[in-house]
């Protein structure tokens, strides 16, 4: 088992609420957003192979964004620890907003893309992707707030989230129209949205419950 300082993998994992963390990360990563919709559009228009440079750019940019989110959350915990409960409440409210938004949302796909996007565009997109930024800050200031502040654990967690995102954009690019048609079916879409919204409500409650009990 890998050991980094006194923190073994089992020690670290025992401090995390893995079901809530995974529920939020998977729902955030696999529901439609700038990365997934643009990937589906490129996959439909140009085929999967031509989306790979763009996907690599998204993966690298998302990884760097998660590292930055981890550093910001660690700085807040060290310098302004009193803000952590506030960030927990804000993060919970954001998750509840996502749950409400998901119930009311519909999925659409751009009709065409003028040219295939490359590595640079995929990486830069993360700088202007509010969904990814809020996802990172929420995860590292709430679910992973007690993660050891070492290069190993920051890098490993960021890599896990980046791979999760890469899997989602690959899925959208490969399935393209079929996936979006399935998701935009009113009956199926409503059922999926209800399930995902309830999962988000669960994650918000798990964050708020320790504060309520105090």
- Domain ranges across the chain: 3-213
Percent over 90 (pLDDT), the chain: 25
- Asked whether the predicted pLDDT for residue 114 surpasses 50, the reply is no
- Asked whether the predicted pLDDT for residue 212 surpasses 60, the reply is yes
List residues bridging with 8 in a β-sheet: 3
146-151 contact pairs (CB < 8 A, 24+): 146/15, 146/16, 147/12, 147/15, 147/16, 147/70, 148/4, 148/5, 148/7, 148/12, 149/74, 149/78, 150/4, 150/5, 150/7
**pTM score, whole prediction:** 0.78
Q: What is the mean pLDDT of the chain?
A: 81
**Per-residue pLDDT band at 97 (split at 50, 70, 90):** confident
- Asked whether the predicted pLDDT for residue 29 surpasses 60, the reply is yes
DSSP-derived letter for residue 142 is I
More confident residue, 5 or 146: 146
Tell me the C-alpha distance between 40 and 180, whole Å. Answer: 8
Residue 146 confidence (pLDDT): 85
Residue showing tokens 């409400």:
100
- Predicted confidence (pLDDT) per residue in 140-190, tens digit: 998 998 888 889 999 999 999 999 999 999 998 888 656 666 666 677 767
Tell me the C-alpha distance between 178 and 193, whole Å. Answer: 18
Residue 83 confidence (pLDDT): 83
Tell me the C-alpha distance between 162 and 37, whole Å. Answer: 17
DSSP-derived letter for residue 143 is I
């Amino acid at each position: 088992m890998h050991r980094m300082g006194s923190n073994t993998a089992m020690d670290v994992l025992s401090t995390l609420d893995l079901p809530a963390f995974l529920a939020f990360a998977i729902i955030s990563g696999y529901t439609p957003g700038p990365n997934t919709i643009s990937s589906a559009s490129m996959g439909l228009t140009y085929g999967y192979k031509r989306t790979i440079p763009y996907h690599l750019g998204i993966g690298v940019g998302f990884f760097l964004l998660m590292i930055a989110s981890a550093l910001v959350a660690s700085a807040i915990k060290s310098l302004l620890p009193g803000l952590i409960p506030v960030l927990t409440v804000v993060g919970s409210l954001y998750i509840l907003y996502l749950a409400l938004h998901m119930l009311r949302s519909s999925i659409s796909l751009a009709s065409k893309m003028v040219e295939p996007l490359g590595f640079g565009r995929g990486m830069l997109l993360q700088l202007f992707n509010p969904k990814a930024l809020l996802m990172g800050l929420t995860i590292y200031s709430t679910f992973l707030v007690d993660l050891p502040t070492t290069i190993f654990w920051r890098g490993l967690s960021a890599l896990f989230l980046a791979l999760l995102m890469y899997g989602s954009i690959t899925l959208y690019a490969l399935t393209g129209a079929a996936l979006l048609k399935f998701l935009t079916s009113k009956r199926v879409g409503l059922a999926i949205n209800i399930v995902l919204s309830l999962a988000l409500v669960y994650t918000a409650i798990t964050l708020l419950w320790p504060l309520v009990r105090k």
